[in-house]
Amino acid sequence: MTRQIPSSPVSDTYVPALASPPRITRSALVNAIGLLLFVLVPAIASATGESFLVNLMTRFLIYAIAAVSLDLILGYGAMVSFGHAAFFGLGGYVIGIVGFHVGQGDTLFGWSGSNAALVMWPLAVAVAALAGLAVGFLSLRTSGVQFIMITLAFGQMLYFILVGLMVYGGDDGLAIDARNTLPGLNLNDPATFYYVCLALMTLWIVVCRRIVNSPFGMALQSIKQNPRRSVGLGLAPLGYRLTAFVLSAAGTGLAGALWANYALFVSPDMSAWQKSGELMAMVILGGMGTIFGPVLGVAVYLGLEQVATGWTEHWMLILGPVLVLVVLFGKRGVYGWLAGGKQ
């Protein structure tokens, strides 16, 4: 296979992607350092005696899964979903509701393993994906501001449905008796649960990176950049957008399921519009359309929250200007600033 073009005078300088040796780029370095820090968190926590650190970082990982999922449609498809917390809430409530019945001695479809993570987490993901299919199918008929409003409406719809579920605590939410179980692992141990979340986040990031660089991902990005041209080339945008929306909903549902396990509590607030806004702020802070960026965005967001709530309960007063500055001056967010320009 040759990629050389004989008639081109500059073809000699063209380095074929296939033959290029793996290089250590600045962004690869940032990612590697990030991953190393994550792995060391429980050790650092026990060494310094700051046990809250593991909990804080678990929260961080869970939000990162949701933010990366949102980036898939926000950054790569320009679909501004203002109702994405709905899928977070759904994932959580699947765990909460089944856990509630298991606590009462019932089982899911009469099966004794109804508390198994290997069943419950995929179930939560599937429910979120299915909801994503329905919401996406209806919302993606619109674009721009209308899309924002219609996804917001769907998110609020779920919020009020959850508020109305009096059996499951309604407004007050629902406490969960125990975490789901994984064979061979004790998820009740904070460090173990942390590592499971870290593994899932890493896996999801790898999957999302593959997706955005795949033919599907290129088509999705092309539709974002110039839908008119993509249609002119013969692509039907709806199929690509909807697929991305469903994948994004699925990932957000997984994050919701993990959150329910982490907090042992679910409430309608998980799917409130403020949560959707939080997720969007995280993605924008970190850098849209980078996959890694939103992870950093979550770090900045939660870090800021942690520090600034010590000063004032109106910590959003600090977040607001930071967000404005990032949007105005750093189009690629914190990650773009750290890892350099576009790869």
Nearest distance from residue 243's CB to another protein, in Å? 7
CA neighbor of 189 nearest in space, from 60, 339, 286, 54: 54
Nearer to another protein, 72 or 198 (CB): 72
Helix extents (H) in the chain: 26-48, 52-77, 85-103, 117-139, 144-164, 190-213, 215-225, 227-233, 237-263, 273-286, 292-311, 316-329, 333-339
> What single DSSP character describes residue 7?
T
Q: Which is nearer to another protein, 104 or 343 (CB)?
A: 343
Chain residues in the site for another protein (CB under 8 A): 1, 3, 5, 7-11, 14, 17-18, 210-211, 213-219, 221-222, 225-226, 228-236, 239, 243, 342
Give CA angle at 267 (100, 63), nearest 5°.
110
326, two tokens: 């990032």
What type of residue sits at position 134? Answer: A
Beta bridge partners of 99: none
Closest separation in Å from C-beta 335 to another protein: 16
Nearest-approach distance from CB 213 to another protein, in angstroms: 5
Residue labelled with tokens 């109106």: 314
Is 74 within 8 Å of 80 (Cβ atoms)?
yes
Residue 69 CB, nearest approach to another protein (Å): 15
Q: Report, in Å, the least distance between residue 204 CB and another protein.
A: 14
- Number of other residues whose CB lies within 10 A of the CB of residue 201: 23
103 versus 239: smaller Cβ distance to another protein: 239
Residue 332: CB minimum distance to another protein, A: 11
For residue 265, give the DSSP letter.
Answer: E
* 9 DSSP assignment: T
Query: CA–CA separation, 308 vs 312, rounded Å?
Result: 6
Distance of closest approach, residue 337 Cβ to another protein, in angstroms? 18
What's the rounded Cα separation, in Å, for the pair 184 and 116? 12
Give Cα 284 to chain centroid, integer Å. Answer: 13
